[in-house]
Chain A
């Protein structure tokens, strides 16, 4: 049974009858809530996503209905403010939720996280009209969003983007093209980073749908602007502020993508463990083989280490700490690399079966491989971290 989202009443802060019982662990008071969030996300992943994960990958289905179900539970705008339909949760809550959802399907969860990032950008940097116009539909996933930064000529060097926006009366005319846009062509709201004060033919069109190694439950296309008129009322923030907003969005996006890697690694470790307990060679189960035991131990250790770093980064971002950018980059770098290795090892432990599409482990490997590349390559992460270290006076 799916609950219809009623119009949100403002929460009555005076009505709290009892202070929360859990002692403050320094991470906020809502540990029991965190467990419930995680439970819902795990249940949703196991029941609504995992059974379809292989089909969505093989048939390249963008699972609109399932994502809308997720939105009805509050997953459409997890860290968007409640007054425009969001769930108003913290970065840590978000990380835990995406990690759990990812065990059901990495590709779909990764798209949901991108959608959340766009909704948050409008929520945080939009004016009253923009927030009220766009956020409710995005939080309910009535409309889907795409984040358009990368161009054919500017990936890691994002600041060198060329898409121009020329002011003409109460519109900007956009010209240029964006590449590798997740959801491109199937989504409704495009958050576009473009250059005002530059040079400037018909509107918005899309390149062919890319054929990818993974992330197949979301379409990826180039987004092309030819004399595309966008109302000035749709500009987020001030002219010149765009790069800043784009980067702020990415900090959270990096935690989200890293959280998706965590979920995949978690699921892969479980799959590997189950396989080791069942598969027999040389007269005994693989779980009796010391090399595999040690390998599994290393995988689990790296998983927990990644998880802790990501949750620390989430807290740092939530509290707006000065080291937030660096630590988010560290978390993304470490977790995506380690979790890919974990999933890859899990595949190896399955032997030949790991290579068959009948087994889920290969999809986890394929799906999270790209996490080391997008939302800032892991090389760019090193740039950010080293710059932070070397600039300290």
Chain B
């Protein structure tokens, strides 16, 4: 199988950041907060670049849907070894309403436009944890899907896949073109090297796309009512009396018991 791989990369709040809910409960604070590429998307990019290094595919195209800053995410993909980037410009209200269904429609349209043989995505994003985009994209294209992949190997025009599922590991064989979503153990993403960063950013361009009517984003299908933080932990009941009595009964001698405070 030769040809083009589309890799979806999403710009999300960095995994190490402490998330704070906005005071008006309409969402989480994103302004000024460190963002980076979704970790599962990094794994997808790494897999695509590895396939290219094995000469099983010809070109890796990184795609991101979002505002201007999404270009940073695409640049990271380029620095890791992607050949080309496509930034689908979605901002403002459209961006707030952007969800898996809309992204899937965009990816499906791009896949046809770019004549892609394979779409590689992360299994889910760490901000919304939807785990839907890969599956929806495959359905829209009527392509087979291999989700939660922990091993991918190409065999002619078929793909051997090992999936991590609740029951264990599932081995499947699917036809191409196909959609694959990457799970944690698929690979360990490489660091971009300094020369790669320089070469890629000098020589690779990122195209800008504006979504057209067919990939309409105007309607947000899932209304968001409220975002709240989980409740603070409440203190436990003081059972020191009960514990002390129990221990005395067991050993016949009173023991000094130090109960540590579990919540601060």
Contacts and interface: CB of A to CB of B under 8 A. Distances in A.
B195 A1 contact: no
Contact of B72 (A20, A35, A72, A74): A35
Interface in A174-215: none
Interface stretch (A37-45, A350-358, A377-385): A37-45
Interface string A276-295: 00101000000000000000
B202 interface: yes
A241 interface: no
A3 B201 CA distance: 18
B194 A32 contact: no
A39 B76 contact: yes
Contacts of B187: 1
Nearest to B202: A16
A119 to B, nearest CB: 14
A280 B263 CA distance: 12
A40 B197 contact: yes
B199 A73 contact: no
Contacts of A280: 264
Interface string A88-101: 11000000000000
B79 interface: yes
Contacts of B204: 17
Given A1-B46, A278-B264, A280-B264, A36 B203 contact: no
A47 to B, nearest CB: 8
B170 interface: no
A11 interface: yes
A27 interface: no
Nearest to A285: B264
A238 B259 CA distance: 74
Contact of B203 (A2, A3, A16, A89): A16
A73 B191 contact: yes
A30 B36 CA distance: 19
Interface of B: 36, 46, 50, 72, 75-76, 79, 187-199, 201-205, 264
7 contacts: A11-B199, A39-B76, A40-B79, A43-B191, A87-B198, A88-B198, A89-B198
